[in-house]
């Protein structure tokens, strides 16, 4: 055990401290990605194919999946897998539709004759990166493609690595992707950002990926939009003496099996629970089939932090701003309302991250690496742009032109002053 403190004065005793810093861990990929982006921008499909041979062990004869092949992938799905995928799609769609219903266009007369407003306009074309990953994550295309469909995006392009399981193609198709390409890695981001002879240029790229995909999204941002820069997955549990060690350990390891760099943690006010969870994690790892991955994540990035009270737990949690945040306290609903830093919140012992990861309806593409302090995750609004407009009557011009003229004169902007004055002069002439 060791004692430490945070800048905001929260005293913490680590029952288990992380051995490494996920925020600082990892190799530099910037130069490699820069070269890939430049090559794809210059050469198009030829560069995409070259990098597929190099990084993916080969490139398919056709980059785009034909409609016949898409349907064949759906037909070959196990019936239960298809039913479960469609269950997830229905729930994600229903929640996205409910979110969209909260977004209204606006018209307001802010002053007599000064009419202002905004509209929520769907993006014309979006690129969804669908990771291959260690396992066929069938929920991945659901989370990126379905909200885009609900938002009304004109065309949805999906890219997934050539090595991705065929069921992932079926998932893209069932979710509503208009075009599907077997292109992975940074070259997929480059193809969607710049366009090639085969892949259309998109307006925004969404979806998680490995370090190369993440860096590619960072480098192309500007000419195209991106959803966020996603780091390794995270889960934290906040618990008091009512917490159940077996449940908490199970949930921590469920997330840890994603990747060896997953960050998992418990923050608790109860020392016996902290010690019980530490023992339970080790016991469960002994029988977990994915222990090689989950165990390394736990050893390197797992933590159990003991704090004095709920206020300290809240302050530490908000500073961590975990991607997934579970609340296991006596009055979880009340305590949850005091929390502000997280990607998605799971209130009460029954609300496991796995339900959101797979099928309950909220999006699993969430902010990591403390980005939950300032942003939320992927949602239907990520595929809309909110743009403003204005119109004036003569009465409105007479209200706003004089201060605009005076401000322009004060700033030394003669052209601005003339533009404001011209309309006023014509009205008064």
Mean pLDDT of 285-305: 97
Mean pLDDT of 398-412: 98
pLDDT of residue 86: 98
Same fold, 2-22+231-361 and 30-229: yes
- Is there a contact between 292 and 283 (Cβ–Cβ < 8 Å)? no
Mean pLDDT of 211-221: 95
> Which letter, b or e, does each residue of 226-254 get, where b requires 16 or more Cβ atoms within 10 Å of its Cβ?
bbbbbbbbbbbbbbbeebebebbbbbbbb
Mean pLDDT of 265-280: 98
pLDDT of residue 5: 42
Q: What percent of the chain has pLDDT over 90?
A: 90
| Answer CATH for 2-22+231-361 from 3.30.2000.10, 3.40.190.10, 3.40.50.1980, 3.40.1160.10 | 3.40.50.1980
d(CA 339, CA 344): 11
pLDDT of residue 231: 87
Angle between helix axes 271-285 and 291-301 (nearest 10 degrees) is: 150
**Run of H or E residues at 175:** helix 166-175
In the structure, what pLDDT confidence band is assigned to residue 134 with cuts at 50, 70 and 90? low
d(CA 18, CA 300): 6
Report helix, strand or coil for 2: strand
pLDDT of residue 136: 74
pLDDT in tens, 233-255: 999 999 999 999 999 999 999 99
Helices and strands (H, E) in the chain, number of each type: 16, 15
d(CA 19, CA 137): 28
pLDDT at 173 over 90: yes
Report helix, strand or coil for 3: strand
**Run of H or E residues at 399:** helix 394-411
pLDDT at 300 over 80: yes
pLDDT of residue 135: 66
Question: What count of residues does the chain have?
Answer: 429
CATH no., domain 30-229: 3.40.50.1980
pLDDT at 196 over 80: yes
Domain coordinates of the chain in residue numbers?
A: 2-22+231-361, 30-229, 393-428
Please give the mean pLDDT across all residues of the chain: 94
Mean pLDDT of 185-206: 98
In the structure, what pLDDT confidence band is assigned to residue 78 with cuts at 50, 70 and 90? very high
d(CA 312, CA 334): 16
| Enzyme catalytic residues | 323-324
In the structure, what pLDDT confidence band is assigned to residue 1 with cuts at 50, 70 and 90? very low
* Burial of 398: CB neighbours in 10 Å, binned 0-12, 13-18, 19+: middle
pLDDT of residue 242: 98
Q: What percent of the chain has pLDDT over 70?
A: 95
pLDDT of residue 137: 83
pLDDT of residue 22: 60
In the structure, what pLDDT confidence band is assigned to residue 217 with cuts at 50, 70 and 90? very high
In the structure, what pLDDT confidence band is assigned to residue 25 with cuts at 50, 70 and 90? very low
pLDDT of residue 27: 55
pLDDT in tens, 116-125: 999 999 999 9
């Amino acid at each position: 055990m060791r004692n430490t403190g945070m800048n905001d004065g929260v005293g913490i005793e680590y029952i288990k401290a992380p051995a490494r810093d996920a925020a600082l861990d990892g190799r530099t990929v910037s130069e490699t990605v820069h070269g890939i982006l430049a090559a794809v921008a210059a050469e198009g499909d030829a560069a995409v194919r070259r990098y597929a041979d190099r990084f993916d062990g080969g490139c398919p004869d056709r980059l785009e999946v034909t409609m016949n092949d898409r349907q064949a992938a759906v037909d070959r799905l196990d019936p239960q897998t298809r039913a479960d995928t469609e269950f997830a799609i229905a729930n994600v769609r229903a929640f996205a539709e409910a979110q969209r219903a909260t977004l209204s266009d606006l018209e307001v007369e802010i002053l007599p004759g000064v009419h202002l407003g905004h509209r929520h306009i769907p993006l014309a074309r979006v690129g969804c990166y669908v990771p291959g990953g260690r396992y066929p994550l069938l929920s991945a295309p659901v989370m990126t493609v379905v909200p885009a469909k609900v938002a009304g995006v004109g065309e949805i392009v999906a890219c997934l690595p050539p090595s991705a399981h065929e069921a992932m193609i079926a998932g893209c198709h069932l979710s509503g992707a208009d075009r599907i390409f077997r292109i992975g890695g940074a070259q997929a981001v480059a193809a969607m950002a710049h366009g090639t002879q085969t892949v259309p240029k998109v307006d925004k790229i969404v979806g998680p990926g490995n370090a190369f995909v993440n860096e590619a999204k960072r480098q192309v941002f500007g000419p195209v939009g991106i959803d966020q820069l996603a780091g390794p997955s995270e889960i934290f549990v906040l618990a008091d003496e009512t917490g159940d060690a077996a449940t908490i350990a199970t949930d921590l390891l469920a997330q840890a099996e994603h990747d060896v760099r997953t960050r998992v943690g418990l923050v608790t006010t109860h020392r016996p629970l902290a010690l019980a969870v530490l023992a339970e994690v080790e016991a469960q790892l002994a029988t977990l089939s994915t222990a090689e991955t989950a165990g390394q994540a736990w050893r390197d990035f797992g933590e159990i932090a003991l704090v004095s009270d709920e206020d300290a737990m809240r302050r530490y949690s908000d500073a961590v701003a975990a991607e997934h945040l579970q609340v296991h306290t006596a009055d979880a609903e009340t305590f949850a309302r005091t929390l502000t830093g997280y990607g998605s919140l799971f209130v009460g012992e029954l609300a496991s991250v796995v339900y959101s990861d797979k099928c309950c309806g909220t999006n699993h593409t969430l902010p990591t690496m403390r980005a939950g302090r300032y942003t939320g995750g992927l949602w239907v609004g990520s595929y809309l742009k909110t743009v403003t407009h204005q119109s004036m009557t003569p009465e409105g011009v007479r209200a706003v032109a004089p201060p605009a003229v005076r401000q322009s004169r004060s700033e030394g902007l003669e052209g601005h002053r003339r533009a404001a004055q011209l309309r006023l002069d014509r009205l008064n002439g």
